[in-house]
Amino acid sequence: MTSAREINEKLDEIIRHNRERKAVELDYADPDFTLEDANTGKKVTKEMVLNKADEVYEVIIKDLNKLTHSGQHCRDMFTNDYYVNDFSQDKIIAEEIRENKMKAEQARQNSENN
Phi and psi at 44, nearest 5°, equal: -110, 130
Q: Do 57 and 70 reside in the same domain of the chain?
A: yes
Q: What is the predicted pLDDT for the residue at 86?
A: 67
Q: What is the predicted pLDDT for the residue at 14?
A: 93
- pLDDT tens column, 70-103: 666 666 666 655 555 667 777 888 888 899 999 9
Q: Do 67 and 92 reside in the same domain of the chain?
A: no
Burial annotation 33-55 (CB, 10 A radius, 16+ → b, else e): eeeeeeeeeeeeeeeebeeebee
Q: Do 51 and 14 reside in the same domain of the chain?
A: yes
Q: Do 107 and 59 reside in the same domain of the chain?
A: no
Q: What is the predicted pLDDT for the residue at 18?
A: 94
Q: Do 24 and 45 reside in the same domain of the chain?
A: yes
> Which DSSP string do the residues of 79-99 spell out, in sequence order?
-SSSPTT-HHHHHHHHHHHHH
Count of domains observed in the chain: 2
- pLDDT tens column, 37-69: 888 889 988 889 899 999 999 999 999 888 887
- Residue span of the structural domain in which 66 resides: 1-79
Q: Do 7 and 52 reside in the same domain of the chain?
A: yes
Q: Do 16 and 35 reside in the same domain of the chain?
A: yes
Q: Do 3 and 31 reside in the same domain of the chain?
A: yes
DSSP one-letter code for 23: H
Q: How many residues does the chain have?
A: 114
Q: What is the predicted pLDDT for the residue at 91?
A: 80
